[in-house]
């Protein structure tokens, strides 16, 4: 049986109805992994043995008349900065070499509680810093649409694993775009939830005031299904909101954009010259479909966010990272260089363990927090962040959703930006403001480039805080209208695929 073109909902449904077993699904998933990995390298750890055991257990429970949950038997991949007990968690770094977490992240508990089966841990930019998955100590991941291109990052392995058909859904983390941008490069739906919606207990921190965990999927229904499972309050995460979560799967049942206000951003006009024409066209098409579906297109102004979001992020995120990464010192976790003095041990371990981009962030972060520079950089960036939050709050007074590109370009070539950090940072201009303002946003596939190897084009929808239902509703309408749901290289000749 080929599960490559089935959605998570179809797999869980098929297993519950005993059309096929969780073990058969998992075997098919592993076949796809072994077929794809030599080219794609999406996974750092393949959880073959533990996955087979978990799938067998699901089958036994079903045979015993139990209903093991909404994701029963669905194979899933998690980014390698989230802990699964007993499996290595590397964060794409040499620094955590040999570290096996003794506990499950909150999302891992929730997923296995819902019956999901872990197929592996996904490649990522080291400690989630980057936008191409080229900053992994384990080598780059390839984009399944075009192996010469990057899958995006930092959650590039999680996105590639879904686009390549290993698994129908996966989890990533998004500090400044790391779910949305790889989703856009790999032709998937990717959701960055409101800050505080999903527990980060067991997620290795990058920038704690920005990090959120969220799902990747090939359909909006699967995105909602996964979100329903992971969006739970958690007292172990001090930033986890206690508010009641709606049933996200209900938001995609009878979707409608009638009477909704979808905003374009005034300042985007002046920036659009630096955006690829195909991305601009995808955005235009999305807006005209919204209009045809009864939405009103309005304009909002976000001058601070679009001009200063990027520098603000690249001060605050490194500042937080420099503090968070201080714990990797050769004493507590993973790598340790045996030296005569404690100082040598710290220096050598950190010198060998961290890659160049992580070192760049630690240096920048330490600098902007240092006495004499703190006021000019860190404090000023915090003030700008407050202005951005206020600016978005005002904007959502006159609209339900804001539409922007996810990334200024489709997937770029491997090696193209890796030696030019500033260009790589500039590509984050449309995603970073969302994290700084603690908002939810969704990237959807709105079409393809023309040419021999079509590349997916992503559009981003942003909602106000806790506006995930609004995002899922709109994405479900657009999914129907665009008619390319479930399209992925793995389904090219299959159901819903491009032939």
Question: Min. distance of Cβ 413 from ligand GLN in angstroms?
Answer: 17
Among 14, 73, 176, 355, binds ligand GLN (CB under 6 A): 176
For the segment 357-396, give every residue that binds ligand GLN (CB under 6 A). none
Using CB positions, name the residue nearest to ligand GLN. Answer: 178
3-class SS at 40? helix
- Identity of the residue, 59 or 438, whose beta carbon is nearer to ligand GLN in the bound complex: 438
Are 198 and 239 spatial neighbours (Cβ–Cβ below 8 Å)?
no
285 is catalytic: no
Task: Give the tokens for residue 44.
Answer: 């750092």
Are 234 and 240 spatial neighbours (Cβ–Cβ below 8 Å)?
yes
Strands (E), 69-124: 75-79, 117-122
By CB under 6 A, the count of residues binding ligand GLN is: 13
- Identity of the residue, 206 or 354, whose beta carbon is nearer to ligand GLN in the bound complex: 206
User: How far is the C-alpha of 16 from the C-alpha of 300, rounded, in Å?
Assistant: 47
Closest CA to 20 of 67, 77, 74: 74
Question: Min. distance of Cβ 153 from ligand GLN in angstroms?
Answer: 7
- Identity of the residue, 154 or 487, whose beta carbon is nearer to ligand GLN in the bound complex: 154
Of 23, 112, 170, 178, which is the active-site residue?
178
Question: Min. distance of Cβ 67 from ligand GLN in angstroms?
Answer: 36
- Identity of the residue, 54 or 128, whose beta carbon is nearer to ligand GLN in the bound complex: 128
Question: Min. distance of Cβ 206 from ligand GLN in angstroms?
Answer: 6
What is the number of residues in the chain?
499
Question: Min. distance of Cβ 94 from ligand GLN in angstroms?
Answer: 19
Strand partners for 379: none
Instruction: Calculate the CA 318 to chain-centre distance.
Output: 19
Determine, following the binding rule CB under 6 A, whether residue 42 of this chain makes contact with ligand GLN: no
Give the N- to C-terminal CA distance of the chain in Å, as an integer.
20
User: How far is the C-alpha of 190 from the C-alpha of 75, rounded, in Å?
Assistant: 18
- Identity of the residue, 150 or 476, whose beta carbon is nearer to ligand GLN in the bound complex: 150
- Identity of the residue, 27 or 208, whose beta carbon is nearer to ligand GLN in the bound complex: 208
Tell me whether the omega of the peptide bond preceding residue 154 falls within 30 degrees of 0, making it cis. Answer: yes
Among 152, 177, 447, 467, binds ligand GLN (CB under 6 A): 177
Question: Min. distance of Cβ 406 from ligand GLN in angstroms?
Answer: 12
Q: What is the CA radius of gyration of the chain?
A: 21
Determine, following the binding rule CB under 6 A, whether residue 178 of this chain makes contact with ligand GLN: yes
Among 220, 290, 317, 368, binds ligand GLN (CB under 6 A): 317
- Identity of the residue, 128 or 401, whose beta carbon is nearer to ligand GLN in the bound complex: 128
Determine, following the binding rule CB under 6 A, whether residue 322 of this chain makes contact with ligand GLN: no
Closest CA to 23 of 64, 50, 46, 54: 54
Question: Min. distance of Cβ 178 from ligand GLN in angstroms?
Answer: 3
User: How far is the C-alpha of 48 from the C-alpha of 123, rounded, in Å?
Assistant: 16
For the segment 124-163, give every residue that binds ligand GLN (CB under 6 A). 128-131, 154
Closest CA to 252 of 218, 287, 232, 225: 225
Instruction: Calculate the CA 340 to chain-centre distance.
Output: 42
272 is catalytic: no
Question: Min. distance of Cβ 12 from ligand GLN in angstroms?
Answer: 29
Choose the stretch contacting ligand GLN; rule: CB under 6 A; options: 54-62, 170-178, 288-296, 437-445.
Answer: 170-178
Choose the stretch contacting ligand GLN; rule: CB under 6 A; options: 36-44, 89-97, 173-181, 230-238.
Answer: 173-181
Are 156 and 163 spatial neighbours (Cβ–Cβ below 8 Å)?
no
For the segment 206-235, give every residue that binds ligand GLN (CB under 6 A). 206
Of 28, 79, 136, 305, which is the active-site residue?
79
Determine, following the binding rule CB under 6 A, whether residue 175 of this chain makes contact with ligand GLN: yes
Determine, following the binding rule CB under 6 A, whether residue 286 of this chain makes contact with ligand GLN: no
Determine, following the binding rule CB under 6 A, whether residue 174 of this chain makes contact with ligand GLN: yes
288 is catalytic: no
- In the chain, what is the greatest distance between 2 CA atoms, to the nearest angstrom? 71
Question: Min. distance of Cβ 23 from ligand GLN in angstroms?
Answer: 35
For the segment 411-440, give every residue that binds ligand GLN (CB under 6 A). 428
Are 54 and 15 spatial neighbours (Cβ–Cβ below 8 Å)?
no
Of 21, 28, 154, 184, which is the active-site residue?
154
Strand partners for 214: 172
Instruction: Calculate the CA 421 to chain-centre distance.
Output: 20
- Identity of the residue, 358 or 485, whose beta carbon is nearer to ligand GLN in the bound complex: 358
Q: Which strand ranges, in their side-by-side order, compose the sheet holding 75-79? A: 43-46, 117-122, 75-79, 169-174, 212-217, 189-192, 441-448, 456-462, 401-405, 261-265, 296-300
Instruction: Calculate the CA 260 to chain-centre distance.
Output: 26
Question: Applying CB under 6 A, which residues contact ligand GLN?
Answer: 128-131, 154, 174-178, 206, 317, 428
Residues assigned a catalytic role: 79, 154, 178
């Amino acid at each position: 049986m080929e599960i490559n073109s089935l959605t998570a909902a179809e797999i869980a449904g098929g297993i519950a109805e005993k059309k096929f077993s969780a073990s058969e699904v998992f075997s098919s998933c592993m076949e796809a992994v072994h077929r794809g990995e030599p080219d794609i390298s999406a996974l750092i750890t393949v959880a073959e043995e533990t996955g087979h055991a978990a799938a067998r257990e699901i089958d036994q429970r079903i045979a015993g008349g139990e209903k093991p949950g909404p994701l029963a038997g669905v194979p899933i991949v998690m980014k390698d900065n989230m802990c699964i007990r007993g499996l290595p968690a590397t964060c794409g770094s040499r620094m955590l070499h040999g570290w096996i977490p003794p506990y499950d992240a909150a999302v891992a508990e929730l997923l296995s509680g819902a019956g999901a089966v872990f197929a592996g841990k996904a490649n990522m930019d080291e400690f989630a810093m980057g936008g191409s998955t080229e900053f992994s100590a384990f080598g780059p991941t390839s984009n399944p649409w075009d192996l010469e291109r990057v899958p995006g990052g930092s959650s590039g392995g999680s996105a590639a694993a879904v686009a390549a058909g290993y698994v129908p859904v996966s989890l990533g983390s998004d500090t400044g775009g790391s779910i949305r941008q790889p989703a856009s490069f790999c032709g998937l739906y990717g959701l960055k939830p409101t800050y505080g919606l999903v527990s980060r207990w067991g997620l290795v921190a990058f920038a704690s005031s920005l990090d959120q965990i969220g799902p990747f999927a090939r359909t909006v229904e699967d995105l909602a299904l996964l979100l329903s499972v992971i969006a739970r309050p958690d007292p172990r995460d001090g930033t986890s909101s206690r508010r009641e979560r709606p049933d996200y799967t209900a938001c995609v049942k009878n979707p409608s954009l009638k009477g909704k206000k979808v905003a374009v951003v005034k300042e985007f006009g002046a920036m659009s010259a630096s955006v690829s024409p195909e991305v601009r066209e995808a955005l235009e098409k999305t807006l005209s479909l919204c209009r045809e579906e009864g939405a009103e297109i309005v304009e909002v102004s976000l001058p601070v966010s679009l001009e200063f979001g990027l520098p603000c992020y690249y001060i605050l995120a490194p500042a937080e990272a420099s503090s968070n990464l201080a714990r990797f010192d050769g004493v507590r976790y993973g790598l340790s260089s045996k030296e005569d003095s404690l100082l040598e041990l710290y220096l050598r371990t950190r010198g060998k363990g961290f890659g160049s981009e992580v070192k760049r962030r630690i240096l920048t972060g330490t600098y902007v927090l240092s006495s004499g520079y703190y006021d000019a950089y860190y404090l000023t960036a915090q003030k700008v962040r407050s202005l951005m939050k206020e600016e978005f709050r005002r904007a959502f007074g006159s609209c339900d959703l804001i539409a922007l590109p996810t990334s200024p370009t489709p997937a770029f070539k491997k090696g193209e930006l890796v030696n030019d950090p500033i260009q790589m940072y500039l590509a984050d201009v449309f995603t970073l403001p969302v994290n700084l303002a603690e908002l939810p946003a969704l990237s959807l596939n709105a079409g393809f480039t023309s040419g021999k190897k079509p590349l997916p084009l992503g559009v981003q929808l942003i909602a106000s805080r806790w506006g995930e239902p609004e995002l899922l509703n709109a994405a479900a309408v657009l999914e129907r209208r665009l008619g390319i749901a479930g399209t992925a290289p793995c389904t090219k000749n299959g159901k819903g695929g491009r032939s």
